[in-house]
Chain A
């Protein structure tokens, strides 16, 4: 079965420290992976997707098919990065369905 695992429910770092939010997936096909973010009192929104290979708000994520991982990284965390982060997997076949991990709450302390 398809599954997305985010092993850390909570992650706390200090401002300026590097941050890495872990995501592992289980899927036999060719995955399409995303990171979504939800800031306090805001909607869930797309942060980045693996096919774009771009950096958004200083965050990057690389798909590692060998390790079935898609970890989210930022070299210098900012207080405004504090939010819930969800890793999501889209399956092959043209469906809009996303399989989400349970999320990691990131807190960046001053």
Chain B
């Protein structure tokens, strides 16, 4: 079974531009979460999606948005990029949310975004 895939793997953008990152979950997984990883702040939760609905959002400005499609693939968008948005963006998928206990989340390799 193929793992979580993220495209592109590397991206360089200029301040003020916008960017779209894509995540394809493991086949059959319907829940997708996004995290931002930086050296200073570590791993921080961005969003959680299930059935094309955002279930939870982290403490990030409105420039960060996302969506999920009917095939469970997800995209996140960052508008008006700032230097501080440079980070590794990780996507994780699981079968379904709201399970007690939490079903294992599988992480993708990440997209490395550099803002200059």
Number of residues in B with C-beta < 8 Å to the partner? 29
Q: Nearest chain-A residue to B110 (Cβ)?
A: A43
What separation, in Å, do the CA atoms of A100 and B45 have in the docked complex?
Answer: 9
How many A-B pairs with Cβ below 8 Å? 59
Q: Are B42 and A96 in contact (CB under 8 A)?
A: no
* Interface stretch of the complex, out of A14-22, A44-52, A60-68, A75-83: A44-52
**Chain A interface bracket (under 10, 10 to 19, 20 to 34, 35 or more):** 20 to 34
Q: Nearest chain-B residue to A41 (Cβ)?
A: B109
Residues of chain A contacted by B33 (CB below 8 angstroms): 96-98
Q: Are A94 and B100 in contact (CB under 8 A)?
A: yes
B61 in contact (CB, < 8 A):
no
A95 in contact (CB, < 8 A):
yes
Residues of chain B contacted by A49 (CB below 8 angstroms): 101-102
A13 in contact (CB, < 8 A):
no
Q: Are B42 and A44 in contact (CB under 8 A)?
A: no
Residues of chain A contacted by B108 (CB below 8 angstroms): 43
CB within 8 Å of B: which residues of A?
32, 43-46, 49, 51, 86, 88, 90, 94-103
